[in-house]
């Protein structure tokens, strides 16, 4: 009896340990666990393990921490071993600190004193024209104060990625008669079908996937772009965010924090290769392999934010981005360098990616973000027609590039896609005075 009590006590401690490791182990689960052990018994260690695992773990990613905890917890104690050692558990699995300084967050002493609604205050005191200047200023030249102000302006933007017609029906003015409601309704008039309610397809917002470059060359933009991503998070329904330099890191979980400063700091700690070099091809490959099938369902829109400086293999980039484009509803590439009138996408990475991008837009100041919001809100419900075209382009581009790179460089503007929008000749720039 007392042995049983010991086991239960340890089981509770184990449950608490799992909770500290982030597993969703509530007390109902612990009752199940105790019940399970009674059924399976504790004679065989592997049975004991599987019984606990099947009851306490319900996500694949939780299996590894569970295993680690199990190994540590359920073993014969050494003489010099105390429960204190358990506290360090899970620490190793955390990502190491960024090797480079993360971009300064807006929580420097000055920003803190302003309080949470500091942005609003500034906005009111600033004059109209000052605000205009800010809208046109390149993100790279922003001071910490201006970042705060810009945040307030970004927060005013509305994001609506268009809607996708789902396969689900709901009452409405659609083409089909809702027989169930028709019969119920018309029972009141003796079953004569006088009033015919109809049904229509339900619509849902498209999911959004953000893949943002935080490599060295993007450093000046990273901070404000993280703010931008965080703002979009609050607005759009389903969203996934990834950061990359040499490796792809998923940061969706961190950005769900409502407090932006904390979220940004968390993200900075989570990304191991902050401000490293860029290997876009490898990164997209990792995305295609591990995430595309899980996050691109239901007609997602993908935003890649990068300057296109790539140190990887152009062939790989071309191959992987073509694949990514085939898998998503629309692929948008945002490039901060595109804000400069003299910029031409001649870098190797940009050259290989361009034929497979549906939209190529600047993201260097607030006006460009407004333009982006406007563009995304007006996305057509159909995919852009591109498949055949891009395949052909892929083949010819890779052949031509080996023979005569100049020819390709000159012809990039003639491509049907992307719908290239340059600040000088693109539409939507005229709204500056509004």
Min CB(249)–another protein separation in Å? 18
User: 330 forms bridges with which residues in the sheet?
Assistant: 301
Q: Counting contacts by CB under 8 A, is residue 113 touching another protein?
A: no
Min CB(351)–another protein separation in Å? 22
Query: Per-residue string for binding with another protein, 311-340, x by CB under 8 A?
Result: ------------x-----------------
407: number of CA atoms within 13 Å, CB side?
9
Give backbone dihedrals phi and psi of 44, rounded to 5 degrees, phi first. -100, 125
Q: Which residue number, 51 or 379, has a Cβ lying nearer to another protein?
A: 51
Give backbone dihedrals phi and psi of 302, rounded to 5 degrees, phi first. -110, 130
Quick one: 119 exposed, middle or buried, by C-beta within 10 A (0-12, 13-18, 19+)?
buried
Phi-psi region of 187 (alpha: psi -120 to 50; beta: other; left: phi over 0): alpha
Q: Which residue number, 54 or 99, has a Cβ lying nearer to another protein?
A: 54
Torsion sign (Cα): 137, 143, 144, 145: negative
Min CB(282)–another protein separation in Å? 12
Query: Per-residue string for binding with another protein, 229-268, x by CB under 8 A?
Result: ----------------------------------------
Residues 148-177 that bind another protein (CB under 8 A): 166-169
Min CB(17)–another protein separation in Å? 19
Q: Which residue number, 60 or 342, has a Cβ lying nearer to another protein?
A: 60
Query: Per-residue string for binding with another protein, 36-75, x by CB under 8 A?
Result: x--xx-----xx-xxx-xxx-xxxx--x------------
Binding range to another protein, per CB under 8 A, among 91-99, 183-191, 211-219, 255-263: 183-191
Q: Counting contacts by CB under 8 A, is residue 392 touching another protein?
A: no
Q: Which residue number, 107 or 252, has a Cβ lying nearer to another protein?
A: 252
167 contacts: CB under 8 Å, gap ≥ 6: 201
Q: How far apart are CA 311 and CA 408, in angstroms?
A: 20
Q: How far apart are CA 30 and CA 51, in angstroms?
A: 12
Check if the beta carbon of residue 150 is closer than 8 Å to that of residue 227.
yes
Quick one: 413 exposed, middle or buried, by C-beta within 10 A (0-12, 13-18, 19+)?
exposed
Check if the beta carbon of residue 156 is closer than 8 Å to that of residue 366.
no
Binding range to another protein, per CB under 8 A, among 76-84, 126-134, 189-197, 371-379: 189-197
Instruction: State the residues that interact with another protein by CB under 8 A.
Output: 24, 26, 32, 35-36, 39-40, 46-47, 49-51, 53-55, 57-60, 63, 166-169, 179-180, 183, 187-188, 190-191, 193, 288-289, 293-295, 297-298, 323
């Amino acid at each position: 009896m007392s042995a049983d009590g010991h086991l239960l006590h340890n089981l509770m401690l184990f449950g608490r340990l799992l909770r500290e490791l982030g597993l969703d182990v509530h007390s109902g689960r612990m009752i199940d666990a105790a019940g399970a052990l009674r059924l399976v018994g504790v004679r065989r260690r592997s049975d004991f393990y599987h019984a606990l695992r099947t009851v306490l773990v319900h996500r694949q990613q939780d299996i590894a921490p569970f295993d680690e905890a199990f190994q540590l917890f359920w073993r014969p104690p050494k003489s010099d071993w105390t429960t204190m050692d358990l506290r360090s558990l899970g620490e190793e699995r955390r990502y190491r600190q960024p090797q480079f300084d993360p971009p300064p967050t807006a929580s420097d002493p000055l920003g803190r004193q302003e309080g949470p609604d500091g942005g609003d205050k500034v906005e009111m005191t600033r004059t109209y024209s000052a605000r205009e200047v800010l809208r046109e200023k390149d993100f790279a030249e922003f001071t910490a104060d201006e970042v705060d102000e810009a945040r307030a302006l970004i927060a005013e933007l509305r994001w609506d990625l268009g809607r996708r017609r789902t396969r689900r029906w709901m009452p409405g003015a659609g083409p089909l008669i809702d027989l169930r409601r028709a019969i119920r309704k018309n029972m009141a008039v003796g079953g004569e079908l006088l009033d015919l309610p109809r049904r229509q397809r339900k619509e849902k917002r498209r999911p959004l996937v953000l893949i943002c470059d935080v490599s060295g060359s993007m450093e000046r933009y990273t901070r404000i772009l993280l703010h931008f991503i965080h703002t979009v998070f609050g607005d759009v329904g389903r969203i996934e965010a990834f950061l990359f330099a040499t490796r792809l890191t998923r940061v969706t979980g961190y950005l769900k924090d409502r407090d932006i400063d904390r979220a940004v700091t968390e993200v900075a700690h989570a990304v191991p290769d902050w401000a490293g070099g860029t290997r876009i091809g490898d990164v997209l490959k990792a995305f295609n392999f591990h995430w595309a099938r899980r996050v691109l369902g239901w007609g997602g829109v993908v935003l890649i934010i990068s300057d296109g400086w790539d140190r990887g293999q152009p062939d790989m980039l071309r191959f992987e981005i073509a694949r990514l484009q085939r898998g998503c509803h629309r692929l948008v590439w945002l490039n901060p360098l595109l804000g400069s009138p003299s910029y031409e996408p001649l870098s190797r990475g940009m050259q290989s990616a361009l034929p497979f991008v549906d939209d190529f837009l600047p993201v260097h100041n607030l006006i460009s973000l407004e333009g982006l919001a406007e563009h995304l809100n007006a996305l057509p419900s159909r995919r852009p027609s591109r498949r055949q075209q891009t395949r052909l382009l892929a083949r010819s581009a890779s052949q031509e590039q080996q023979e005569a790179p100049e020819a390709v460089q000159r012809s990039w503007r003639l491509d049907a896609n992307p719908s290239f929008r340059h600040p000088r000749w693109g539409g939507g720039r005229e709204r500056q005075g509004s």
